[in-house]
């Protein structure tokens, strides 16, 4: 293990050798196609990590990396090897071994102010942090072509678009996934519905043609309501406004209670019941408007 490897792995908690090697390989991949394109004909960049070697006034990137590597060694009470001074003279990264170029690249990033947090994240497996580390501290101001190559090696981050309409996920028990051998009439019968209701509510053009895996919404049709979309689990999504309309409509469509199925009310004062069912005058009355509490419970999934 190299000196820079030891310094970095000891400094950043959660870092691993494999993540460090992946970071190095990604940077090398972008800079020199994995060490296959060592000379840039359009600039003075050279070597596996394409250090600029511009001659003239001021320090070039290669010389700066040599100075930062020397500073890192001295800070850790290590002796600066002879190849560093030799490189200051020949000014050619390609005259160094790959291992030495790797040391320079890591020290060059490590010594720059502000790199700590990204280094820690990258060595913990965050490839996006590794890409930002590369952009900010090795290949600054990358052009579109460089970014395209970087996305290939580091991976491209995509952000899912946000929905413009707030939605409520419908209870999955109210949907049905078509299985082999199913017919619309069978699905309607098993859910206490008519084929016509399923056709209208699910916008089915031909009731004789349904497909395996198709999602069928199995509540009675509510005029004018259409799903906003289908979630990743196959459930249909409705806006909160439409959900409210659903609740109102459902409260109006509850069928009359079969009073004869209820036991007779005890009016004798004893433990026995009298001869026949006694109708409750309020049994068939149901408030057609949904209460605020019902709405809150529905929105937050509390059906108690």
pLDDT (tens digit per residue) in 201-249: 777 888 888 888 787 877 654 434 444 444 444 444 445 555 555 555 5
pLDDT surpasses 50 at 158: no
- Mean pLDDT in the chain? 75
Looking at residue 190, the DSSP 8-state letter turns out to be H
Residue 290 CA to residue 250 CA, distance in Å, equals 10
Pick the CATH number of 167-255+282-299 from 1.10.2020.10, 3.10.350.10, 1.10.490.10, 3.10.20.30: 3.10.350.10
The angle formed by the CA atoms of residues 254, 255 and 258, to the nearest 5 degrees, is: 130
Read off the pLDDT of residues 80-130 as tens digits, 9 standing for 90 and up.
Answer: 999 999 999 999 999 999 999 999 999 999 999 999 999 999 999 999 999
- End-to-end Cα distance, the chain: 62
pLDDT surpasses 80 at 72: yes
Question: For the stretch 122-134, what's the b/e string if a residue is b when 16 or more beta carbons lie within 10 angstroms of its beta carbon?
Answer: bbeebbebbbbbb
Pick the residue with more confidence: 186 or 295?
A: 186
Whether the Cβ atoms of residue 210 and residue 216 lie closer than 8 Å to each other:
yes
The angle formed by the CA atoms of residues 19, 23 and 29, to the nearest 5 degrees, is: 140
**Which residues are CB-neighbours of 14 under 8 A, at least 6 positions away?**
120, 123, 124
Strand ranges inside 27-103, DSSP E: 45-46, 51-52
Question: For the stretch 71-97, what's the b/e string if a residue is b when 16 or more beta carbons lie within 10 angstroms of its beta carbon?
Answer: ebbeeeeeeeeeebeebeeebebeebe
Of 151-160, 168-177, 247-256, least confident by mean pLDDT is 247-256
Token pair for residue 129? 């942090």
Domain ranges for the chain, please list them: 3-154, 167-255+282-299
């Amino acid at each position: 293990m190299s000196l820079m490897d030891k310094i970095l792995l000891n400094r950043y908690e959660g870092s691993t050798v494999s993540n460090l090697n992946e970071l190095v390989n990604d940077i090398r991949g972008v800079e020199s196609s994995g060490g296959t394109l060592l000379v840039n004909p359009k600039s003075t960049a050279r070597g596996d990590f394409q250090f600029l070697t511009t001659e003239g006034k001021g320090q070039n990137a290669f010389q700066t990396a040599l100075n930062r590597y020397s500073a890192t060694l001295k800070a850790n009470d290590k002796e600066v090897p002879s190849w560093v001074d030799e490189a200051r003279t020949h000014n050619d990264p390609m005259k160094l071994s790959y291992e030495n170029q790797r040391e320079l690249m890591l020290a060059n990033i490590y010594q720059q102010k502000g790199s700590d947090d990204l280094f820690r994240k990258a060595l913990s497996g965050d490839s996006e942090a590794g890409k930002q580390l590369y952009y900010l501290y090795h290949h600054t101001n990358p052009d579109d072509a460089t970014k395209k190559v970087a996305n290939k090696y580091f991976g491209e981050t995509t952000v899912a678009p946000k929905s413009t309409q707030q939605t409520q996920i419908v209870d999955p028990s109210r949907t049905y996934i078509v299985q082999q051998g199913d017919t619309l009439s069978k699905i309607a019968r098993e859910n206490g519905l008519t084929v016509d209701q399923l056709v209208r509510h699910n916008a089915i053009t031909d009731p004789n043609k349904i497909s395996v895996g198709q999602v069928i919404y199995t509540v009675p049709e509510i005029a004018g309501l259409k799903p906003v979309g289908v979630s990743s689990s196959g459930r249909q999504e409705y806006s909160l406004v439409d959900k409210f309309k659903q609740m109102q409509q459902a409260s109006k469509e509850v069928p009359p209670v079969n009073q004869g199925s209820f036991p007779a009310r005890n009016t004798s004062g004893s433990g026995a019941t009298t001869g026949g069912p006694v109708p409750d005058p309020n049994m068939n009355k149901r408030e057609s408007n949904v209460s605020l509490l019902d709405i809150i419970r529905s929105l937050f999934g509390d059906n108690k």
